[in-house]
Amino acid sequence: MKKNQTPHGVNVLAQALAATLLLAGATTVHAQWPERAVRIVVPYGPGGAVDVATRKMAQKLGEQTGQSFIVENKPGATGTIGASQVARSAADGYTLLANDTTYSLLPFIFKKLPFDHETDLQPVSAFIFAPMALVVKSEGPYKTLDDLVARAKASPNTVTYGSGGPGTTPHFAAEGLGQATGVKFMHVPFKGAAEATQAVLGNVVDFQFASTTGVMGAVKGGSLRLLAISGNQRLPVLKDVPTFAEAGVKDFGVVNWTGLWAPKGTPPEVLARLQKEIAAAMNAPDMKEFAQSMGADPRQVDSAGFARILRDSSAMWKSVSEKTGFEAR
């Protein structure tokens, strides 16, 4: 061996040590997440169920981590504009997507999506599970679900409902109700659930399907009336409102959940920390009180459970889309 020549084995050992230190350093950096503000994209307008639930969660995550979680509304194209923006973002945990059950509908709404629905976004956690409710203006002519259905039977395609757009959960829920009761409603799409709610309040449309999270404030304020809710039991906060089954419509069990996704490739350490913080948030008394006051179930599921929920939701909505004859665009 020549003088000053390093043995090959020493070189290999040095390289391995350097790689280990680099990996350890990267892990430490990821473990320190978040070190700056985190952006959560809501792909709908402000004031809807996803927006309301996400802003409450963002506030709680900020309190727990000491960093800002900023909610940005990017509405349009049934949530695909905001979703595709997040899918193209850096996979570093600083850009997240919030969405609801509508996310599992997207493959049945669009023939081609601007991102890969199965792989580009990783499900992180689902939280705040709320029943779907049929709401009308309190001062309107409909006092019960029977009133609404009877009017629709007498005058097909004249009873109108608003939604955040074609293919959204409220749209499919209303079409499912029409199938179950043998009536035909007229769909009037808007840019978001909050706009649809304003349309109900302004007598532009007759009713709306919405997550209880998005409309409970107006219901408690007396401007909206719930005619029925999905699920197997009445809400403790509104014991006079019947379930759809009690109102005569069986097997109408659509539940709306809110969840967070991260871009593909986000470090596991970051995802684990985020899941831990979401779980802690949903175990906090104020978050439980918030969810229950909105008629929602204050539970949280991890990424594996969330993935199962997405698979089950997709199977259910595939069946609904086929029965309604909805054509992907």
Query: Using 50, 70 and 90 to split pLDDT, how confident is the model at 8?
Result: low
Give me the torsion for CA of 30, 39, 58, 312, rounded to 10°.
Answer: -80
13 vs 219, higher pLDDT: 219
Read off the pLDDT band of 115 (50, 70, 90): very high
Q: Give pTM, 2 decimals.
A: 0.78
Is residue 18 predicted with pLDDT exceeding 60? no
Per-residue pLDDT, 7: 53
Average pLDDT over residues 38-59: 94
Lookup: tokens for 129: 């599970």
Q: Average the pLDDT over 230-257 and give the result.
A: 87
Label residue 303 by pLDDT band (50, 70, 90).
very high
Share of the chain above pLDDT 70, in %: 90
Give the Cα separation of 182 and 295 in Å (integer). 28
Domains of the chain with bracketed CATH: 38-129+256-324 (3.40.190.150), 131-247 (3.40.190.10)
